[in-house]
Amino acid sequence: MTQLPFLRLSLPRQIPLCSPARSFFHTTAALQAVQASKKNQLTMATVNTKTGKVVDRTVLDSMLRRRLFYTPSFDIYGGVSGLYDYGPPGTALLNNIVDLWRKHFVLEEDMLEVDCTMLTPHEVLKTSGHVDKFADWMCKDPKTGEIFRADHLVEEVLEARLKGDKEARGQKVVVDEEKEAKKKKKAKDAKAVKLDDALVKEYEEILAQIDNFDGTQLEEIIAKHDIRNPTTDGNLLPPVAFNLMFQTSIGPSSNMPGYLRPETAQGQFLNFQKLLEFNQQSMPFASASIGKSFRNEISPRAGLLRVREFLMAEIEHYVDPEGGKKHHRFEEVKDIEMAFLNRNVQLSGCTKTEKMTIGKAVETGMVDNETLGYFIARIQLFLLKLGVDPNKLRFRQHMANEMAHYAADCWDAELLTSYGWIECVGCADRSAYDLTVHKNKTGAPLVVREPRAEPLKIEEWQVDLDKKKFGPRFKKDGKAVAAAVEALSQELREKLAIDLEKNGKIEVDVEGVGSGKVELDQDIVKIEKRTRVENVREYTPNVIEPSFGIGRILYSMIEHVYWAREEDEARGVLSFPPAIAPTKVLIVPLSTHASFRPLLQQLMTKLRRMGISNRVDDSSASIGKRYARNDELGTPFGITVDFQSVKDNTFTLRDRDTTKQVRASEDEILQAIKSLVDGEKTWEDIRKELPEFTGQEVD
Amino acid sequence: MTQLPFLRLSLPRQIPLCSPARSFFHTTAALQAVQASKKNQLTMATVNTKTGKVVDRTVLDSMLRRRLFYTPSFDIYGGVSGLYDYGPPGTALLNNIVDLWRKHFVLEEDMLEVDCTMLTPHEVLKTSGHVDKFADWMCKDPKTGEIFRADHLVEEVLEARLKGDKEARGQKVVVDEEKEAKKKKKAKDAKAVKLDDALVKEYEEILAQIDNFDGTQLEEIIAKHDIRNPTTDGNLLPPVAFNLMFQTSIGPSSNMPGYLRPETAQGQFLNFQKLLEFNQQSMPFASASIGKSFRNEISPRAGLLRVREFLMAEIEHYVDPEGGKKHHRFEEVKDIEMAFLNRNVQLSGCTKTEKMTIGKAVETGMVDNETLGYFIARIQLFLLKLGVDPNKLRFRQHMANEMAHYAADCWDAELLTSYGWIECVGCADRSAYDLTVHKNKTGAPLVVREPRAEPLKIEEWQVDLDKKKFGPRFKKDGKAVAAAVEALSQELREKLAIDLEKNGKIEVDVEGVGSGKVELDQDIVKIEKRTRVENVREYTPNVIEPSFGIGRILYSMIEHVYWAREEDEARGVLSFPPAIAPTKVLIVPLSTHASFRPLLQQLMTKLRRMGISNRVDDSSASIGKRYARNDELGTPFGITVDFQSVKDNTFTLRDRDTTKQVRASEDEILQAIKSLVDGEKTWEDIRKELPEFTGQEVD
């Protein structure tokens, strides 16, 4: 269950700023505080930090679809909810994010990247716990056949009743448009019915804890509060667990059930032994994997944030559990400041983040260890490189009851969007859990063996059996008796040594042999305290797991870099950093005159040779319209080819964000673009170096 | 069925050089010629062209697994046949191939790359033909439950009988070790039983056509020749079709069956309309996609060549079917020479390839059109960049009965390996098939509409119905009658116009109305020849589809670049071109002395900043052993750090293939590496520029 955090998130995880965390308040006052602050939070989420202006998600969404960043899969067949295709700009963006991820993590740290299959046999996911526990609760309407995700249903019905209550009391109702839009169209509108104060309180408390109920509890709530199909008012069957893995069958016979992996981690764990060998037995090291994973959501919503097929990038960093999990490059990151929302703050009912360096966070013990801290800092650096707004990034620590029992600590990188705080990266210390379960199941030595610098001397009670006499005496029971003796604890051995000395014989429990007790004389058994020397240390490494939901990062980041031109609200701009922009350069000829063609070809070829993606737009649209289109595509630079260019091979270079232009020779322009794309220079640098141009931007 | 060619290939497709193609010989003599030449071909396949030495696949395979290029998935759980994981060098190689592919095709030609989901609903693959036709035939043993792929079984049993016959005749038996090894271990060895000459001939003819039989024919052969379970001799059930797609269910109810895609093409076709819009309605253009596809093989064999989950890269180039399918960049490739094995040569019973420029091939009509020819040439350029041996590459044309009925022409790029000629890239002109079937099914306008330069004037017979009289006259049948009239062909209209003139009435067939014939008077219908003007041309583009099996290319290419050092057969080398080598540079310190560490760090950081992947090996192994390990990993360059380096910051640079070294300053060494990796210079260039070093390579 590596990605437990990804299991249910986005909407339920909207912890409002500085008010009780949803899962933990028990007073109506606290809840009301949350509801009031929620509106503020959502407002903040949709304000572009740089422009200070509100951005409209509906407008953004329609722009993203129009520009084919993404589109519902199988649209001409009516689509399938939770499945999206990325179009050309979306795919390029995705590829560039993956590329940066690979450079930032894999190449930078010599990680061992692997590519494992998505098809996974039943047994592996049984061992990992996914077969039994990777599930949501669903309710079926036996009459209509409709299926509801139980927690979502309870939430929808109770919220509607609370809304009706407010109306009846004449209070103002704050409408969450997103939720309204997602409601089944036929659903009956909430009636304005006043509820008992006690009932209101009970509903609010249920909603506050909606993420924490199991099937039995959901069943009780549904029965007690008479929750039915909101459309037909029909009764529902009790909730049943619905496993979120897509099941299939491998091979022609039906005797090998399998699943599509719900995460990339398992493939990495299973190869641990071979990877350690590849790494020449040297610890610590990390494996990494980038690939699609699958979750059969009951009712996907929230666009790209909750989909059934998605790209993940996961790192499994293997570390010696002894010695405090130090990291040799922690020094490099220790002064990085970040926004933390720790467990205790959440428990106290507040969601205000605290700024602190990661060095301090580890030193004070808030973050469990250096290795975990190192990756948390590296995750922040990565997200900022992508263009994430630092004011909309926080690291939230998992509550004790939110983490798996074996986890030592877990932090999520959350990005603030119009859907609330979205968990985009999880970073967990998973202890030795994963390697241990697979080792126990298969017997494979998923362990590290290393020579001890100093041999370890262990004083212990050892038992010797006289094999010559032992065999003939016990015959077919010999093996069972020997195994029982071997399994005796040190405490028991000490006690038995005294018995043996005193009585000349001992009695040992051996299940299934005779009466279950076996007598051993001193001529057949000897127990002595001796010193054993251990030259090799064997241990199961702990795993620190940074796990990235690439699609979520992509979408949240787009919200952060989106803004509209002051002069025209309809002119959207996506200010991607040049390194990840889908296309780096737009080449715009001012005329379709034949004399322009060789220049266009020459620019394209040279840019391509430099590895810089570019497009020519020689359509008949006005130059302003062509640039506006590319602002929406997030193309950071534009080269305008005009009649002057034909004469003297000079060009103008336009910056997307400022719309300012400079003019220079071809060589200078190409060099400027290269240094901008490589991140060596900023537009401000270029403006100082090359003469400004204020000519042709018409329209 | 885009990837029909990938459906069954490798082994059955081993067409021996200059002897009848397996599917087409009808004489025993021809077959014997094939069998004789087969041995020669396999020998040629395993000789490294550069060294002239035979390479041993068993040795190569064990090296690839030891170095973790790939490994069976879920190995510690016993593995699942047909599923492999790529380890660190394999993954890096795969990524580099994909990267090069993207540069060579997508970036170079401004293709529109998309990323579509693997999960695909039933209806889409029903329309494409996969649900009905993407299947192999399998036979079940009702007693043991064993399942056999029917054609493989017939092949195995008949070959065993022929072998027994040869033994009985005292002839020498050529053993195909691969096949022997793959046979079920318990299978009874062929008995030395002499067969009738006629029977031998019949068996040989069956084997020659084994790829072409359908289920009924396989059933007849199995019955007639009493083919049974080779292990138990038990009778088998008749062959049934087994669909090769992995089935699953999307969403919580079971009413949306889906499959894992068997190819990436369908997602591209479905988005055609949006992509055309994105491309600003401009034709021709191409979409492209890189991603995993899935085939539930009945009995996977041949390692990485026939797997159940594999990486594909596919291009769909949309072209106007009128005007001869010209390509505006054909001029750039027309002089490229390639080895063709055309349809007629195969029909004549020969497999000798013909060298010809692609320009000539298109000119003579052997390759159907320029666009197809352009991509064939580009495919060759791509494969050669990867390090494919040009002597082991050919383009084989599909036979007429091998292609889908709608295909205009199809060529496979085949690479010669120790498994025979392997189809690695298919390049087909699929006509308008795919867009048409989806358009017909969904009604979506998967067409191009373009204004005509000259309006088109069409003289045609037009039928007018007097609506006022027509409605009251036919009432509820009106729609059916109007539709039947609308559907009348031009020929019929002409004939009816004469009838109408002559008789004042006509009779029209209308199924389901009255007697099936309807009479129309001249007061209700009018038929006239008129001129219609069409200003917009609407057409369904044709699709040229280059489709790459990346895993197959990777494996075949590895066989081509593998060789062993003359002085030591156990010292394998993989001579990957620098651009695709998993790691570019090995940094080897001559001592573990602390004074070396800053130098190592400095080299690593600088190389990384240049985007050049590198690894330090500071293990205690001898320098020779460390280089030998990296020869096996295909690392093209090595930097040795010695005591001289500590003094003057000079280093030696070693070339993997020649093991020669040069010595120069840090800057010069790094610059040399960059130009080598970028492909701007060769090792020969560097040797001329920098002084040779003959010092420290000790073993």
pLDDT of residue A48: 83
End-to-end C-alpha distance for chain B, whole angstroms: 55
- Best of A66, A70, A73, A297 to substitute, by most chain B Cβ atoms within 10 angstroms, is A73
SS3 content of chain B, % helix, strand, coil (to 5): 40, 25, 35
Helix (H), strand (E) at residue B126:
helix B122-128
pLDDT for position B187: 53
Q: Is the pLDDT reported for residue A44 higher than 90?
A: no
Q: Are A114 and B91 in contact (CB under 8 A)?
A: yes
In terms of phi and psi (left: phi > 0; alpha: psi -120 to 50; beta: otherwise), the region of A234 is beta
Residue % of chain A over a pLDDT of 90: 62
Taking CB atoms and an 8 Å cutoff, what residues of chain B touch A275? 68, 87-88
With a cut of 90, say whether residue A4 has pLDDT above it. no
Q: Which of B84, B274, B436 to mutate to test the interface with A (most CBs of A within 10 A)?
A: B274
Q: Of A74, A87, A442, which has the smallest distance from its Cβ to B76's Cβ?
A: A442
Q: Work out the pLDDT band at A272, boundaries 50, 70, 90.
A: very high
Q: Do B84 and A117 touch (CB under 8 A)?
A: yes
**Banded pLDDT at A467 (limits 50, 70, 90):** confident
Q: Give the pLDDT score at B485.
A: 87
Q: Which residues of A touch B107 (CB under 8 A)?
A: 608, 613
Residues sharing a CB contact under 8 Å with residue B196, sequence separation 6 or more, in sequence order: none
pLDDT of residue A133: 87
E strand spans, A495-596: 505-509, 517-521, 525-539, 542-549, 562-564, 572-574, 585-589
Say how far apart CA A241 and CA A255 lie, in whole Å.
24
What pLDDT, on the 0 to 100 scale, is given for residue B28? 40
pLDDT at A20 over 60: no
d(CA B27, CA B25) in angstroms, rounded, equals 6
Q: List, in order, residues 6 or more apart from A395 with CB less than 8 Å away.
A: A338, A339, A340, A341, A376, A380, A411, A412, A413, A414
Cis peptide before A284 (omega within 30 of 0): yes
- The β-bridge partners of A511 are none
pLDDT tens per residue, range B552-586: 999 999 999 999 988 777 789 999 999 999 999 99
Give residue A665's identity as a one-letter amino acid code.
Answer: S
Residue of chain A nearest B103, judged by CA positions: A611
* Predicted local confidence at residue A41, as pLDDT: 61
**Is any Cβ of chain B less than 8 angstroms from the Cβ of A126?**
no
The whole-number pLDDT of residue B184 equals 47
A87, closest residue in chain B (CA to CA): B114
Q: List the single residue in B110, B114, B294 with the smallest CB-CB distance to A86.
A: B114
The region that residue B677 occupies, defined by phi over 0 for left and psi between -120 and 50 for alpha, beta otherwise, is: alpha
Is the distance from CB of B252 to CB of A147 less than 8 angstroms? yes
Q: What is the pLDDT of residues B257-316, one digit of tens each?
A: 999 999 999 999 999 999 999 999 999 999 999 999 999 998 887 788 989 999 999 999
Could you identify the residue written with the tokens 């046949």?
A: B81
Question: Nearest C-alpha of chain B: how many angstroms from A411?
Answer: 28
Check for a shared fold between A61-132+252-447+540-564 and A567-689: no
CB-based contact A494:A461 (threshold 8 Å): yes
Rg, Å, chain A Cα set: 32
Instruction: Find the mean pLDDT for residues B228-251.
Output: 92
CB B646 within 8 A of CB B599: yes
List the alpha helices (DSSP H) in A225-318: 265-270, 272-278
Preceding omega of A472 cis (within 30 degrees of 0): no
Q: Among B631, B646, B638, B644, which Cα is nearest to B615's?
A: B638
- Looking at the domain B567-689, which fold is it? Rossmann fold (3.40.50)
Task: Name the band, by pLDDT with cuts 50, 70 and 90, for residue A10.
Answer: very low
Res B512: pLDDT = 80
What percent of chain B has pLDDT above 70? Answer: 91
- Name beta bridge partners: B165: none
Q: Across the interface, which of B107, B119, B248 has its CB nearest the CB of A608?
A: B107
Contact B121 A80 (CB under 8 A): yes
Q: Read off the pLDDT band of B183 (50, 70, 90).
A: low
| Partner residue opposite B252 with nearest CB, options A73, A115, A147 | A147
> Between chain A and chain B, how many beta carbons pairs sit less than 8 Å apart?
210
Model pLDDT, residue A226: 93
- For B242, nearest residue in chain A (alpha carbons): A252
Chain A positions touching B309 (Cβ under 8 A) are 117-119
Report pLDDT for B170. 84
b/e per residue B72-98 (b: at least 16 CB within 10 A)? bbbbbbeebbbbbbbbbbbbbbbbbbb
CATH of domain B454-535: 3.30.720.200
- Report the pLDDT value the prediction gives residue B133, as an integer from 0 to 100: 87
Contacts of A256 in chain B (CB under 8 A): 80
Measured between alpha carbons, how far is residue B394 from residues A183, B4, B356, B358, B544 in Å?
59, 19, 11, 13, 19
Residue A581 tokens read as 């922009």
Tell me whether residues B87 and A274 touch, CB distance under 8 A. yes
Whether B88 and A113 lie within 8 Å, measured CB to CB: yes
Q: Measured between CB atoms, does A95 come within 8 Å of chain B?
A: yes
Taking CA–CA distances from A680, the nearest residue in chain B reads B609
CA atoms within 13 A on the CB side of B228: 11
Separation of alpha carbons A306 and A9, rounded Å: 9
Going from N- to C-terminal start, the domains of chain B cover 61-132+252-447+540-564, 135-243, 454-535, 567-689
Q: How far is A272 from chain B (nearest CA, A)?
A: 10
CB A71 within 8 A of CB A84: yes
**β-sheet with A614-616: strand ranges across:** A614-616, A585-589, A637-641, A650-655, A661-665, A692-693
Locate the DSSP E strands across A209-284: 240-243, 247-249, 257-260
A-chain CB neighbours of B249 within 8 Å are: 246-247, 296
Q: What is the full DSSP assignment across A414-474?
A: EEEETTEEEEEEEEEE-TTHHHHHHHHHH----SEEEEEEEEEEEEEEEEEE-HHHHHHHH
Which has more confidence, B115 or B146?
A: B115
Residue of B nearest to A118 (CA): B309
**pLDDT tens for residues A318-335?**
999 999 999 999 999 999
Nearest to A278 among B87, B308, B446 (CB): B87
Predicted structure pTM score: 0.87
* ipTM surpassing 0.90: no
**CB-CB contact of A559 with A429 (8 Å):** no
Q: What is the pLDDT of residue B627?
A: 93
For every residue of B171-217, DSSP letters joined together read: ------HHHHHHS-TTSPPPP-----HHHHHHHHHHHHTGGG--HHH
Report the share of chain A in percent with pLDDT over 70.
Answer: 91
- Chain B residues with CB under 8 Å of A444 CB are 76
Separation CA B631–CA B642 (nearest Å): 20
Whether the CA torsion B658, B664, B669, B672 is positive or negative: it is: negative
Of A76, A121, A277, the CB nearest to B442: A76
Nearest CA in chain A to B127: A77
Q: Cα(A414)–Cα(B209) distance, rounded to whole angstroms?
A: 61
H-assigned helices in B504-574 = 550-561
Q: Do A296 and B252 touch (CB under 8 A)?
A: yes
Each residue's pLDDT tens digit, A392-401: 999 999 988 7
Q: Which two tokens stand for residue A560?
A: 């952060």
The whole-number pLDDT of residue A303 equals 85
**Residues contacting residue B376 through CB under 8 Å, at least 6 positions apart:** B338, B358, B361, B367, B395, B411, B413, B427
A666-677 vs A597-609: helix crossing angle, rounded to 10: 40
| Edge-to-edge order in the sheet of strand B614-616 | B614-616, B585-589, B637-641, B650-655, B661-665, B692-693
Instruction: Test A250 with B246 for CB contact under 8 angstroms.
Output: yes
Does any CB of chain B come closer than 8 Å to the CB of residue A630? no
- Chain B residues with CB-CB distance to A441 below 8 A: 77
Contacts of B274 in chain A (CB under 8 A): 68, 71, 75, 87
Q: What is the pLDDT of residues B81-130, one digit of tens each?
A: 999 999 999 999 999 999 999 999 999 999 999 999 999 999 999 999 99
Cα–Cα distance, A379 to A370 (Å, whole number): 14
Q: Is the pLDDT of residue A29 over 70?
A: no
pLDDT single digits (tens) A637-685:
999 999 999 999 999 999 999 999 999 999 999 999 999 999 999 999 9
User: What is the Cα–Cα distance from A457 to A460, expressed in whole angstroms?
Assistant: 10
pLDDT for position B361: 97
| Confidence band for B518, pLDDT divided at 50, 70 and 90 | confident
How is B399-440 classified by DSSP, letter by letter? PGGGS-TT-SEEEEEEEEETTEEEEEEEEEE-TTHHHHHHHH
Tokens of A593: 């005159």
Q: Which CATH class is domain B135-243?
A: alpha beta
Q: Which H or E run includes B535? A: strand B525-539
Average pLDDT for A370-375: 98
CATH 3.90.226.10 fits A61-132+252-447+540-564, yes or no: no
